[in-house]
Structure 1
């Protein structure tokens, strides 16, 4: 081995130290750059050579620059980021629903239900007081309005949530396109991994984009031998090398909302978590489920109240009445499109004179046994039409219409154990069958004196109003043994519990993510003290290599001078 070999060996060491200084300087320069991943110079011993019986090293060779990263830890952190993003989205949705349902002011649903019941108490104490009747109708109108408003607010929140999906789909396409482009640039720069160095700047950018994508949707990232990454969502690939699958918005009839689909396969994007997954859950299970429950509550309120009110009497009889439900008159009751299916039973139609005295009472049979010959709306109407002094028909709007066709006569209803009157919308307090269309019957708003108070005849008793009082607090088969008030209180409590659980879950995910992020930063982040130590090490190695070259040069000069 010659002195020239020693000089060349040290020159290579100088170059390695220079490259090391450059990498350290690059790290220090990017110490505060968001998303920067620390780099290090990888050095390997040069190929050895044999001189006689001795094997001698040939110095050092820079093999490449590598990002310092724990890929398994990074993937765990991405997964935690997905959970945090989804958890915070759901927490916001539950909190918004809680604000709408809580009803801390006088306009809340629970408060209106209580005020309506109090107005019934007032009327029971003064059944002939016109002001008490007006108050009942006013509070009933306020209650139905509160339910309408709750539906409107929840539907608006559901629509706002649904409107986030197109923006998320567009963001996902933008991220996928850029990551696919970076895959190509990285493969070209790294030579398909034929080089030992990482395309660090491009990899940093791709890493940041993957982290951003992980917040939107739960992804599975797999790095290929070529240096590119493949990204999967729910088993379907979204990105593979230079190719990416575009997503688009489509209408889903089952959920009555939009969903994100993969354009190439026309299949739904199977997002279970992240912002996209949480938005879908918030729309369908948070706001959507409450809308369904609110419809159930509104329909139950109308049915429970109407079944009592429809068979009662006010201060006088009816001259003309039109049902509020459009029916199918010629088919069995189960298919007649009534508010609900009446039971097998009967109800009474009473004919009154000008003084409100009973002229005649007629029992109308309602047969619903599921056999041939069961009642239809037409057959029931015919029984009523056969009563002297009363005409009955199904009008052009498909609604049952009854008219007292003799001057001085009127009619009332009583003892309905079939539920037909309320199901057909006759003499009801409320109209509508959902939270959106629930309202007080216009017929009563125009004629408050017809509000049902008696059950044994006009002015004879107050049994009807007595039965209506506290009806909201009584268990009902319509709500599976719950009362209307208990149903509402349970929903408020359930939502409050869901908010608390979601808050705890979101905080837990956030704490876990923070822990993983700290571990990740301890590996990938730039430690200035550590870089300073490396800086001194490369400086000392540069000085020592320079001293070797200087010594070898002096020895060579001495040898030449001999």
Structure 2
């Protein structure tokens, strides 16, 4: 009967192999399917009375042809590809909005805005140049709003998409855990689990495209899965992830219930979304806000200290009768944005009846002062009153008075030496543009009459005691003629007829910054812009309604163009708030940085896909189904089946003959 056993084992082996080949062919196009083969081995020999005969073939279980190391590397590369692909698509959208490679972008609008100030310098009272400035300013503001809104909307969409991805991740980990349970249960009963393992492995592959994972294979066929070092599948148990903001601009992931949110979840689509939010969008929004805030602050700090050009024909422009800022909190000044520092505010007050001009000042202490206390301090000054209206600082001139915050010099000397006897009155004019204050001391050399006495001079020294000029005011000087005080600044002095006495002195104080605290700009007093950052930057309604109110002048005559030139020069300043870069360089850094990230992402995307293609080709060699090869194998086992059947018939015929003989 052993011959029949051999035949039956061969038929069973051929039949099982044909079934497995049929399953391979049926799943040739099934994603994630691993080719299977039936293990065949000799059944061994049977011996009795010194006679040994073979006992046929043993067919084992169908085994998947799989290279676990290769599969793990594919999971790793799938995660990398999922992350870089998601980042790349978003970065390309950001690049197109920033538009550094196009002629129409925020960078060009910034340039046009500052150029308009320089154009206005040619004719500060021209309604055409004023209107052009407002138009270009509005275009720049619109680009800030549009760009900021796009980045903010994308940031919100990224967070929403990340939450959807996490829901998908949680669904997959639950499915993987459930299939682990089924595999283990079936394996105990020696049931075939190959197709179920393929489905589970395909779910793991899909999971790797969503988030970076690591796997651990157990001997019982179960696979544990970790995400970012956190176990999300342990045997038949799964844990869910959840997302939450971290601080103001970060986004993190944690196991549900732990609330230990971490932004470090690289890999997969989820990793790409987290990277977009934390490493790209939040810093970009921060940089854009910083750029807008710097433009607002720098322009406003200069604008608050200037005055509109005075128009003699219409009597408009010049100093103010009243100014109102914007609403501010009632807290101490050290909480204000833009930042207010300890310093002082100088106010020029003009008596419109006599023409007398005086300068008074207040001290600003950010730790103790509030907007209300500043109003009280200003209200104590002679010639103006101040109060808080609707949470805003309001300053108003008394009757027959006007005020401004012009730096520079007063029209008369600040102080005279003790017992000063000179009768020649001095008049000071011009503008002083500097970042520091300066005190000029005029030493009188010689005694005599201005414009008459030979050798009568004024020796001008700065606060460091250096002689910056020597002015001849003796014979040959025409009283009333302007003389340059300091060749480095556009300051003039003229002397009226009268006498001067040798050894006597007088001083002229030149102020470079009339608001060293920055409070006026922070509180919106005589500012060009309102708003805090790229989301709300705007031209003040006062300037929109009357472009002639642009503070173009800085000199005491109030007809110059120095202030608009000073604002135009902001474009060429290397500002500490912009990492010591100029405005256009800082914007270019932002946009070029995105373009660089796009280029790097494109290279990573191509490289990763090339690696995956290579790994897939290698995987197909190990686990893929080749229809031609399977067909050849089918013929082999078909012939084996036929041969075994013929063998069985032969054995039956031989047995029949033996039985007849017997």
* TM-score normalised by L of structure 1: 0.90
In structure 1, what is the equivalent of residue 137 of structure 2?
Answer: 140
Q: 1:255 to 1:396 in 2, by over 3 A?
A: closer
| Superposition map of 1:512-531 within 5 A | 512-531=611-630
Point out the more displaced range, 120-129 or 445-454.
445-454
In structure 1, what is the equivalent of residue 341 of structure 2?
Answer: 342
Query: Which structure shows the bigger proportion of residues in strand conformation?
Result: 2
Q: In 2, Cα distance between the equivalents of 1:338 and 1:200?
A: 65
| Superposition map of 1:223-234 within 5 A | 223-234=217-228
Q: Where does structure 2 lack aligned partners over 5 or more consecutive residues?
A: 309-316, 408-513
In structure 1, what is the equivalent of residue 184 of structure 2?
Answer: 187
Q: Report if aligned partners of 1:124, 1:462 keep a CA contact under 8 Å in 2.
A: yes
Candidates 361, 380, 383, aligned match of 2:358: 361
Q: In 1, Cα distance between the equivalents of 2:26 and 2:559?
A: 95
In structure 2, what is the equivalent of residue 402 of structure 1?
Answer: 395
Give the deviation of 1:68 after TM superposition. 1.1
Q: 1:358 to 1:446 in 2, by over 3 A?
A: farther
| Superposition map of 1:112-511 within 5 A | 112-191=109-188, 195=190, 198-249=192-243, 251-256=244-249, 259-268=252-261, 271-314=265-308, 315-324=317-326, 326-328=328-330, 331=332, 333=333, 335=334, 337=336, 339-351=338-350, 353=352, 358-366=355-363, 380-397=374-391, 399-406=392-399, 408-415=400-407, 416=514, 418=516, 419-511=518-610
Q: In 2, Cα distance between the equivalents of 1:240 and 1:190?
A: 18
Q: Report if aligned partners of 1:101, 1:492 keep a CA contact under 8 Å in 2.
A: yes
In structure 2, what is the equivalent of residue 109 of structure 1?
Answer: 106
In structure 1, what is the equivalent of residue 41 of structure 2?
Answer: 44
Q: Where does structure 1 lack aligned partners over 5 or more consecutive residues?
A: none
Candidates 26, 30, 33, aligned match of 1:29: 26
Point out the more displaced range, 292-301 or 452-461.
452-461
Deviations 1:183-206 (A, max 9, x none): 232223322xx62x6412222221
Q: Report if aligned partners of 1:473, 1:486 keep a CA contact under 8 Å in 2.
A: no
Deviations 1:168-194 (A, max 9, x none): 122112212222222232223322xx6
Give the deviation of 1:368 after TM superposition. 5.6
- Counterpart secondary structure, 1:414: coil
Q: In 2, Cα distance between the equivalents of 1:338 and 1:163?
A: 31
Give the deviation of 1:369 after TM superposition. 10
Q: Report if aligned partners of 2:323, 2:525 keep a CA contact under 8 Å in 1.
A: yes
* Larger Rg, first or second structure (1 or 2): 2
Give the deviation of 1:255 after TM superposition. 4.6
Deviations 1:354-386 (A, max 9, x none): 8xx95322131436699xxx8765665444323
Give the deviation of 1:266 after TM superposition. 4.1
Q: In 2, Cα distance between the equivalents of 1:524 and 1:281?
A: 34
Q: In 2, Cα distance between the equivalents of 1:473 and 1:33?
A: 63
* TM-score normalised by L of structure 2: 0.77
Q: Report if aligned partners of 1:364, 1:380 keep a CA contact under 8 Å in 2.
A: no
Deviations 1:412-462 (A, max 9, x none): 111225033223322111122211121112222233222111111353422
Give the deviation of 1:346 after TM superposition. 4.6
Q: Report if aligned partners of 2:572, 2:583 keep a CA contact under 8 Å in 1.
A: yes
Give the deviation of 1:549 after TM superposition. 2.8
Give the deviation of 1:247 after TM superposition. 3.1
Deviations 1:234-292 (A, max 9, x none): 2222122322223344x324155765442254444763211111101111221111111
- Counterpart secondary structure, 1:163: helix
Q: In 2, Cα distance between the equivalents of 1:22 and 1:378?
A: 90
Q: 1:342 to 1:257 in 2, by over 3 A?
A: closer
Q: In 2, Cα distance between the equivalents of 1:211 and 1:368?
A: 63
Deviations 1:61-102 (A, max 9, x none): 111111111111111101111110111001112111111111
Q: Report if aligned partners of 2:362, 2:378 keep a CA contact under 8 Å in 1.
A: no
Deviations 1:116-135 (A, max 9, x none): 12221221111111222222
Q: Root-mean-square deviation (CA), in Å?
A: 2.5
Q: In 2, Cα distance between the equivalents of 1:386 and 1:265?
A: 59
Point out the more displaced range, 66-75 or 199-208.
199-208
| Superposition map of 1:41-80 within 5 A | 41-53=38-50, 55-80=52-77
Q: Which structure has more RCO (C-alpha within 8 Å, separation ≥ 6)?
A: 1
- Counterpart secondary structure, 1:63: strand
Q: 1:54 to 1:254 in 2, by over 3 A?
A: farther
Q: Report if aligned partners of 1:43, 1:64 keep a CA contact under 8 Å in 2.
A: no
Give the deviation of 1:39 after TM superposition. 1.0
In structure 1, what is the equivalent of residue 425 of structure 2?
Answer: none
Q: Report if aligned partners of 1:304, 1:478 keep a CA contact under 8 Å in 2.
A: no
- Counterpart secondary structure, 2:558: coil
- Counterpart secondary structure, 1:126: coil
Q: In 2, Cα distance between the equivalents of 1:264 and 1:465?
A: 59
Q: In 2, Cα distance between the equivalents of 1:430 and 1:107?
A: 23
Q: In 1, Cα distance between the equivalents of 2:151 and 2:304?
A: 31
Give the deviation of 1:343 after TM superposition. 4.9
